[in-house]
Structure 1
Amino acid sequence: MARTTDTAARLPAALQLSRDGSRTLSEQLAAHYAALIRQRLLAPGSRLPSVREGARRHGVSPHTLVATYDQLLAQGLVEAQRQRGFFVRERAAPAQRGEAPAASPPDSPRVPVDASMLIRGMLGSGGRPGPGLGTLPPAWLDAPMLQAALRRVLASGREDELGAAALHYGEPAGDPRLREALAQRLADVGVRASPRQIMTTLGATQALDLVSRALLAPGDAVLVDEPGWSVEYARLTLLGMRLLPVPRGPDGPDLAVMEALAREHRPRLYVTVSVLHNPTGGMLSLASAHQLLQLAQAHDFHVIEDDTYAHLAPAHAPRLAALDGLKRCFHISGFSKILAPGWRVGFVAAPPDWIERLIDVKMLASLTTPALLEQAVAVCLEQGLLRRHAERVVARLDAARGRSVRLAQGAGCEFVCPPQGLFGWIETGIDTEALAQRLLDRGWSTAPGSLFHARRQPGTKMRINFATAQDAAFWREFESEREAMRR
């Protein structure tokens, strides 16, 4: 048995338990401790809190703690030592890079079934009002601008140039005109990248996928924000990666937890939304960004910075890729959030020694990307059309956010992070997964907090879209259903 240590004082903050969920309090606590043990945040030999201390810490009865430890015993994660307490058991070492990963335990993370639900919400809510949707309302988008950009592309240039764009494959790295415009756009937010370091993709989601495939092998450990985007959890899980959730706060990730996970698991990658984080709306502080990059250097992992909401964010917001100089960072963004969901144009700015590898992976995945659409986006950037459209959207979003915040607070909700950007992360005081079903029966599509965790768990938080949560009728229904659940 490894040397025993008492780690009760060093445990992460107590779990917020749901008393209205489908799982008992002891089941929730057992899952919480099991995750800490499997991530080795509780090392072998560590002593768990005594029954009395654990009950006080989590605000439950001693009987609940006994039931929790019984479940951990049954899973083989802890052992009881007579008159000493409960201790974390030694477990088999994880497979090394290049070895076949061991079979997953029965309760290991599987592809989140809720990821498809979130995607369906992005693609359309079946006619339901969508306070939890992930896109701007169609009425906010500028279809005439997009049509004009396409007409300019079709009308410009010689006939042979149009034929090359429309009738042949485009360049593997992406349209040169767009890459030139993207280099200028990135310089405006402090990211220095030559057009040769930029590769276009079918939206930011494909960019995330291509970088992951280029960097990782099945069984590799990947740091992810939690709460975070469940589609990203599902995508990485399908690639065979081991997810290491890092708690995300208003200023960025919990760096102490990140360092402990990095030391124990030697992750290859950290995937994050540094600016206007989904779902919290948080912004990475400059101090956190510097410390994060120091951790990446010390523990030799790369960083994917997903800047999907760049056009809604202040230009001065710190970008990891700007501070890093594109040495360890891959900077990713796209245009579907600001132009239109169907305009699947994205890109990645990469360290110089990785760009050819990325182009090879892209060609295997999709050959090339649509040159006509990329040239239309280039027109929007070059002519200032996109900048002016984004300014109008931001002004409209600011007004919508003010109204949505007042309605949410009037309904008794609190914001976990300062309200900014497109999304708000609110504390409701009740199990939002059960609440979401009741609201769905009333015709409202919402985004409960369980959608944004690597392991499904009940919780009392919920994501709202400020642009689509302005209807006072929704908040009246929200209050009515919440009170019915409390009764």
Structure 2
Amino acid sequence: MSTNTPTPPAAPLQRDASLPLAHQLAQRYAERIRQRLLLPGARLPSVRECARHHGVSPHTVVAAYDQLQAEGLLEARRQRGFFVRETRARPPAPALAGGPVPRQVPLDATTLIRGMFGTDTTRAPGSGVLPADWLDIGLLQSALRRAQAGSPDLHVAYGEPAGDARLRLALTRRLADLGIQAAPEQLLTTAGATQALDLITRGLLQPGDAVLVDDPGWAVEFARLANSGMRLLPVPRHPDGGPDLTVMQQLAEAHHPRAYVTVSVLHNPTGSSLSAAQAHTILKLADQHDLLIVEDDTYAFLAPEHTVRLSALDGLKRTIYVSGFSKFLSPAWRVGYLAASPERTQRLIDLKLLSNLTSNALPERAVAHVLDQGQLRRHAERVQQRLDAARSRSVALAERAGARFVSPPRGLFGWIDVGVDTERLAQPLLDAGWLTAPGVLFSATRQPGSLMRINFATAQTAAFWRDLQRCIEALRGG
């Protein structure tokens, strides 16, 4: 993530400007709506709350909201307030934790993605990546030089369709350390884990298929599946780390889903991991209902050794394992991979050929170098030590601010309850210059609530927690 463009606190409204206060306020909210920092269906602050926050009269707020309605950006709902206008129908909450979410799920994931570009991570406690200064630039530069010196042909020839052969061989050893046995021909490299997930969806699923997903879960995956025509079946994720297996069984019996997409280790956003008993039950259920399990292990290098993987227990029969290096080495490298049965891998190689021929061989060869030389393991140890210290500090600050951890703090993310609607809380915090990740972004059905995700590495600033307390008190006072 770039740190070149910080996210400064919003400037106060200018009383001596030629532009009326109401127009300034309307412009501020209009810009946030267009940038999708305010999502379709989001409720704006009440007139009284907004007037108090910005130090203006209620009449000024009403005029600003009227202007936004005239521009088609807001709608007023009787007895409820002002809401960002929907561009598509908002999906209803499923019955019995269970009916499929319609395919027209809004692509609210763009809010999280936009937060990955041009934002100073020191002002983004809801960030999804490691701070740039935690990455080892020297390691990256050295690996690229070695890759270039040893293989000048990488600059002038197409790479192998399945991915760099040296990297795939190194990955077999990496997977063996995780208990996953896979031959090089079972591996396919991709442009990050995101492309791997996209190839699986397009190559092995069909529009209209029902797919089980964790709720809360990764908003980008919800949006990607919905945009591909899948029907989402949200499975509640327990604080102890696993999905609600009773609900999963009910959904499988009622809707005959084709797949289950999950983050089994250091789940995003809760930080929890599956137990061995939960993993065994999930695999039995998959066998019973002919489910394909897509296991996204994006944060594998931050997990403790010997953490249970579904793919290790299953032997890649019903599972496809997905991981990558972009979040851990460099977002610019976009190196990911998947491991599957030989038949599925070949099918996905063919689709990769049709999509973009090959992936970038140079960074793949560089990753092979850092794997083979043990540099990646040493880098992981340094990051984990630094993350342990950051987590301790962030947890202490969060608890001092009155936040409650819904899941035990582990990995990169904390899932906290702050006692007020975090979608509403996000706006005054944005005014103070803080980019947060309210819980609604991780709900497949866009359900608001008092939960939010924090990144332990970027939430160590005491000033953020002071502003959080101040904004919470202001919301409760309103």
TM-score by length of 1: 0.78
The one-letter amino acid of 1:476's match is R
What is the alpha-carbon distance in structure 1 between the residues aligned to residue 139 and residue 230 of structure 2?
41
The one-letter amino acid of 1:119's match is I
1:364 is displaced (CA, Å) by 1.2
Matched ranges for 1:89-238 at <5 A: 108=102, 110-125=104-119, 129-156=123-150, 161-163=151-153, 165-238=154-227
Unaligned runs of 5+ in 1: 1-17, 26-30, 42-106
What is the alpha-carbon distance in structure 2 between the residues aligned to residue 447 and residue 292 of structure 1?
29
Spell out, residue by residue over 1:14-68, the C-alpha distance to the aligned partner (whole angstroms, 9 max, x if none).
xxxx99999989xxxxx99851169459xxxxxxxxxxxxxxxxxxxxxxxxxxx
The one-letter amino acid of 2:130's match is L
Change (3 A) 1:444 1:40: closer
Change (3 A) 1:441 1:37: same
Number of the residue aligned with 2:241: 251
SS of the aligned residue for 2:237 comes to strand
Aligned residues of 1:112 and 1:233 also touching (Cα < 8 A): no
The one-letter amino acid of 1:251's match is G
Aligned residues of 1:186 and 1:192 also touching (Cα < 8 A): yes
Matched ranges for 1:350-361 at <5 A: 350-361=340-351
Matched, 1:376 2:366: yes
Spell out, residue by residue over 1:383-426, the C-alpha distance to the aligned partner (whole angstroms, 9 max, x if none).
11111011000000000000000000111111111100000000
The one-letter amino acid of 2:237's match is R
TM-score by length of 2: 0.79
SS of the aligned residue for 2:115 comes to helix
Matched ranges for 1:63-462 at <5 A: 108=102, 110-125=104-119, 129-156=123-150, 161-163=151-153, 165-249=154-238, 250-462=240-452
Aligned residues of 1:423 and 1:464 also touching (Cα < 8 A): yes
What is the alpha-carbon distance in structure 2 between the residues aligned to residue 111 and residue 315 of structure 1?
37
Aligned residues of 1:112 and 1:456 also touching (Cα < 8 A): no
What is the alpha-carbon distance in structure 2 between the residues aligned to residue 124 and residue 433 of structure 1?
22
Spell out, residue by residue over 1:97-145, the C-alpha distance to the aligned partner (whole angstroms, 9 max, x if none).
xxxxxxxxxx945243421010011223267701000000011100010
Change (3 A) 1:434 1:319: same
Spell out, residue by residue over 1:179-211, the C-alpha distance to the aligned partner (whole angstroms, 9 max, x if none).
000000000010100111000000000000001
SS of the aligned residue for 2:195 comes to helix
What is the alpha-carbon distance in structure 1 between the residues aligned to residue 173 and residue 319 of structure 2?
18
1:302 is displaced (CA, Å) by 0.4
What is the alpha-carbon distance in structure 2 between the residues aligned to residue 447 and residue 429 of structure 1?
15
1:343 is displaced (CA, Å) by 1.2
Identical positions, percent: 61
Number of the residue aligned with 2:465: 475
What is the alpha-carbon distance in structure 2 between the residues aligned to residue 463 and residue 315 of structure 1?
24
The one-letter amino acid of 1:340's match is S
Q: Which moved further from structure 2: 285-294 or 361-370? A: 361-370
Number of the residue aligned with 1:80: none
The one-letter amino acid of 1:185's match is R
What is the alpha-carbon distance in structure 1 between the residues aligned to residue 224 and residue 286 of structure 2?
22
What is the alpha-carbon distance in structure 1 between the residues aligned to residue 96 and residue 386 of structure 2?
46
Moved runs in structure 1, 4+ residues, more than 3 A?
18-25, 31-34, 37-41
Spell out, residue by residue over 1:356-392, the C-alpha distance to the aligned partner (whole angstroms, 9 max, x if none).
1010111111110011110000001001111101100
Unaligned runs of 5+ in 2: 1-41, 47-76, 81-89
Number of the residue aligned with 1:12: none
The one-letter amino acid of 2:271's match is G
Number of the residue aligned with 1:49: none
Change (3 A) 1:422 1:110: same
Change (3 A) 1:424 1:149: same
Aligned length: 395
Change (3 A) 1:297 1:127: closer
What is the alpha-carbon distance in structure 2 between the residues aligned to residue 32 and residue 209 of structure 1?
23
Query: What's the Cα RMSD here?
Result: 2.2
What is the alpha-carbon distance in structure 1 between the residues aligned to residue 371 and residue 241 of structure 2?
30
